[in-house]
A and B are shown apart, each in its own frame.
Chain A
């Protein structure tokens, strides 16, 4: 009954138990043991995730379906079921989460000095919730994990954060909690109307059971939660504050995984379950995405806090994601997911880079740096590489995501693509400006002159990220082919929709050649919805 996904999800909790039970005569010894234990557990989870990835059927009959499924009755009296499984999309996010947690633990090895036990426990709990959320195939389970993520994140920022951490946690809480509550309402309505809490069933059958007006209400309900989470302008102001106050590893998870929960939510709920509402309101998403790309890029340009630059750039990058998702073509949605994965690696790495600087100088003010390249040549290379991946240089993962989003959007909405593409220029402006002010120029400050280059531990953190960013940039097909069947499944309600302008060429290169619709016809939707 219990399968590998559940083992992966709850193993970190077992680790927490171990941490709680561990004891030693000396504080330092204890902290050391706890770190080793946490790392060990997270590495096992990563191993399990890789095992799932290797045994995932990408080309056979099951490619488009959920695999490694666990399904049994949970609270029969309430009609709740325990339902886990992964499709290509979820698998990639599980892998991303499982990769980032051990990196976070190693990154915090030296920089976290007080309450080490609690800190490591918080990260392991966080891992449980993250992986659980991506594997959950039941509404109730999904909601529990989705909300649960907030608790350890809240603590990580609130306890190990910077000077204004209480303000930041409060803002984070206010925004995401409000959004989630509204989504909860939506989930309840969804359950009440359709009579099932199974996400795969809902993905197949919900459009037929929901009237257009109800779809609209639900769409906005989900939008509230996911638009805040990803975040879209104007619901983004919690993010820069949260990032600035969060400890390095907190920022890594925040940017690397938490933002992606919003995009994942759109993919799981809004797109497949509410196709009519999605088509009706897509223009709202385009507009907000365009604003996000241009508006936040300009803001990023004038920041003096290094972390705020990257935080705002995250919002801009997520603008590509939301636009790509709602362009509803295979390349655009593939690109949006790829962009999320890529950004998960790249922004995580950039926050780690900032952490490297912060650990040494205890400041994130650009003006306190300058000329760092001269004393930290290795770090300069690493930082440059991720800056370039951030601006989408071909050969890095950042390019593939942006390119697919843009080309997939262009073939249906050229103007939207044109607006988004200005991000190519704006992104280069703020990224290179950041690099120039921090890393280049004359070295005038004594504190900078005393900096030491990357330690072995720090090199170890960056190595897997560098390899993955380049690998995904040069051979992205491995990832794209895992995603493609699931993406086509998500887009199946739109395959025959005339309101999506299909490009008119007779060649085999057809952008919208999604499989035949698996849903009943639109006329039936309304009838059933009204019953």
Chain B
């Protein structure tokens, strides 16, 4: 077994062992097995990261043939290059911490074995996704993480709301997957392969070709890129297909941290970076990506301002941060997108696990209106959450500062009116982010306790098994930006990425980003500070003014609070019509038309004729048989005569 196989498949073994025999193995042994599998995978990934990305030895391990027929040749393979090993490092390190945390968090649950098994399954699928050497294996991992997400959101399957959220996540993701699948088909049609290297080599062959599509013509590059992007919109919860992510918070909190913040939702960004050579040839698609990213960042940040469920606020902030990453992709700043993905994984996982610790302390209370004053009750959680929040709001020298700044600088540096607009929106979102993330801190930890006394009496700091992962992740939230800067987006970036991320021939955005005016670099930090100050003002200093403001904004506030009514819109546009159509087809068409004119009609007709022609209508079956046979014989005669004639 090679190191690559160990890193990917150890969690598959963990999943099978824990999933099949978890019940008889017991909780302790299952925890041991799944965490060991995870630790082995992490160690192997770290070694591979060192070997591949640091020492510069990219490699591809062929495992076997998957689908091979009629010119299609799809392999099972593990592709290790700078891009995939960075992802592996992020996935395994966060996942290991989440596994350890889950031991404490799920301690009181009825079936923690099943939970740990699903976590292992998720990691396996995610690793298959990022190490895929072709688009179809990527699709395998892509749908696999979707399945794991479905299973984990609906983990508490006796809860109807959890089941609804799980199903919503799967179905909405499937809409995106539909786009990705069509993108894969289009890649095969136009480039004759689905393997990445062959695809990139074949890119020049379709230069100038167009696809006619519903009256429009699009260059092949843009057409294919947009289809693939639809998949990314679904998985990375971009505006339009974002509706599943907030609901996904029905799952246990470790899941939210791992899947719906740090790893799975970034798969869309990863996919876009993976096909960056294609995107570089698709300027129209890039503009669409930039616009969608911008809209997502803005939309999610506004909604995040108004929510009271602590996990939903963080979920919307994830959505918003993914918008940042997509914006970076849209201007061709792939290293910046990956850098933000990297740092975000640590501080967002930290924030979610911190929120989980709060929820754990308050006997599963998630509403921030029922919190407050927890600073002294759960001091360690408070400190860790502070670190995460500082990182999220982009305060120097925390991780988010470095990555968010390079994203915004790249936006500015890419030039053009759309780019400047996106910089402005990005800076505004940075302001909103600082505001709502500190709102969480103030509402949760400061002020007087609003929980009832019984809950407060039980409130306690989480056990060491939960605090330890927070400490490790907070190291990432503090240091990941500073440590990674030079390699990801600084002077060493070309040596580090080894050509896995495309760089525009005419305009190297990242290089240009280093030479933007000083105010461009300072502005995001200034608005973030302003956001924190305003948050303090409204939530600590003068809450009465805030309430008056909310009342005054009335309709606007309700619009934002109700998440721009997107769910209601979709319900009206898709869900209810689908049901109505189904009912109409079922009783109206199938029974009402096809059966009525088909078999029932034939019976009625023959009964009518039979009643007139025949007096002894006792057995029906022989009679119909006879009618049928006579009719068929006539047809037969006709055909034979005609056939001989022709």
Contacts and interface: CB of A to CB of B under 8 A. Distances in A.
A406 B181 contact: yes
A89 to B, nearest CB: 13
Nearest to B643: A189
Tell me which of B150, B174, B589 has the highest count of chain A C-beta atoms within 10 A of its own C-beta: B174
B72 A509 contact: yes
Contact of A214 (B65, B193, B646): B646
A505 B205 contact: yes
A483 B73 CA distance: 16
A388 interface: yes
B644 A192 contact: yes
A403 interface: yes
A522 interface: no
A440 B163 contact: yes
B174 A302 contact: no
A211 B625 CA distance: 33
Interface string A202-217: 0000000001011001
Contact of B636 (A185, A406, A411, A481): A185
Interface string B128-161: 0000000010011001100100100010011010
Interface of B: 64-73, 136, 139-140, 143-144, 147, 150, 154, 157-158, 160, 163-164, 167, 170-171, 174-175, 177-178, 181-182, 184-186, 188-193, 198, 202, 205, 578-579, 581-583, 585-586, 589-591, 594-595, 598-599, 602, 621, 624-625, 628-629, 632, 635-636, 639-640, 642-644, 646
B70 A331 contact: yes
A418 B582 CA distance: 21
Contacts of B192: 503, 505, 507, 509-510
Contact of B182 (A217, A299, A417, A441): A417
B72 A192 contact: no
B585 A394 contact: no
A453 B352 CA distance: 37
Interface string A486-526: 01000000000000000101011111110000000000000
Contacts of A79: none
B147 A388 contact: yes
B646 A213 contact: yes
Contacts of B68: 477, 480-481
A237 B590 contact: yes
Contacts of A414: 185-186, 189
B174 A442 contact: no
Given A302-B579, A302-B582, A403-B136, A513 B599 contact: no
A366 interface: no
A406 B179 CA distance: 13
Contacts of B590: 237, 299
Contacts of A211: 646
Contacts of B595: 237
A513 B643 contact: no
A94 interface: no
Nearest to B584: A298
B72 A394 contact: no
Contacts of B143: 393-394, 399
B71 A509 contact: yes
A330 B70 contact: yes
Interface of A: 170-171, 173-175, 177-178, 181-182, 184-186, 188-189, 192-193, 211, 213-214, 217, 221, 234, 237-238, 295, 298-303, 329-331, 334, 371, 373-374, 388, 393-395, 399-400, 403-404, 406-408, 410-411, 414, 417-418, 421-422, 424-425, 428-429, 432-433, 436, 439-443, 474-477, 480-481, 483-484, 487, 503, 505, 507-513, 529
Given A440-B157, A442-B160, A428 B174 contact: yes
A487 B629 CA distance: 36
Contact of A188 (B174, B589, B636): B636
Contacts of B73: 509
Contacts of B598: 234, 237
Given A414-B185, A440-B154, 6 more contacts: A188-B636, A331-B70, A371-B158, A407-B188, A421-B178, A441-B163
B158 A441 contact: yes
Contact of A189 (B158, B182, B625, B640): B640
Contacts of A429: 171, 578
B466 to A, nearest CB: 27
17 contacts: A174-B602, A185-B632, A189-B643, A221-B639, A234-B594, A295-B589, A298-B578, A395-B140, A406-B181, A408-B70, A414-B186, A418-B182, A428-B174, A477-B67, A503-B189, A507-B193, A512-B70
A177 B170 CA distance: 42
A192 B643 CA distance: 9
Contacts of B174: 424-425, 428
B645 to A, nearest CB: 10
List 7 A-B pairs, minimum CB-CB distance, nearest first.
A330-B70, A181-B632, A302-B582, A410-B185, A394-B140, A298-B582, A185-B636
Given A214-B643, A395-B144, A299 B139 contact: no
B632 A424 contact: no
Tell me which of B64, B71, B621 has the highest count of chain A C-beta atoms within 10 A of its own C-beta: B71
A236 B636 CA distance: 24
A374 B390 CA distance: 43
A421 B205 CA distance: 28
Contacts of A484: 69-70
Contacts of A394: 136, 139-140, 143-144
A300 to B, nearest CB: 8
B582 A301 contact: yes
Given A177-B628, A395-B144, A477 B599 contact: no
Tell me which of B65, B73, B185 has the highest count of chain A C-beta atoms within 10 A of its own C-beta: B185
B189 A193 contact: no
Given A299-B585, A433-B167, A477-B68, A178 B185 contact: no
A214 B629 CA distance: 23
Given A298-B578, A421-B178, A477-B65, A411 B185 contact: yes
A433 to B, nearest CB: 7
A428 B170 contact: yes
A331 B181 contact: no
Contacts of A175: 599
A440 to B, nearest CB: 4
Contacts of A189: 639-640, 643
Tell me which of B65, B192, B205, B581 has the highest count of chain A C-beta atoms within 10 A of its own C-beta: B192
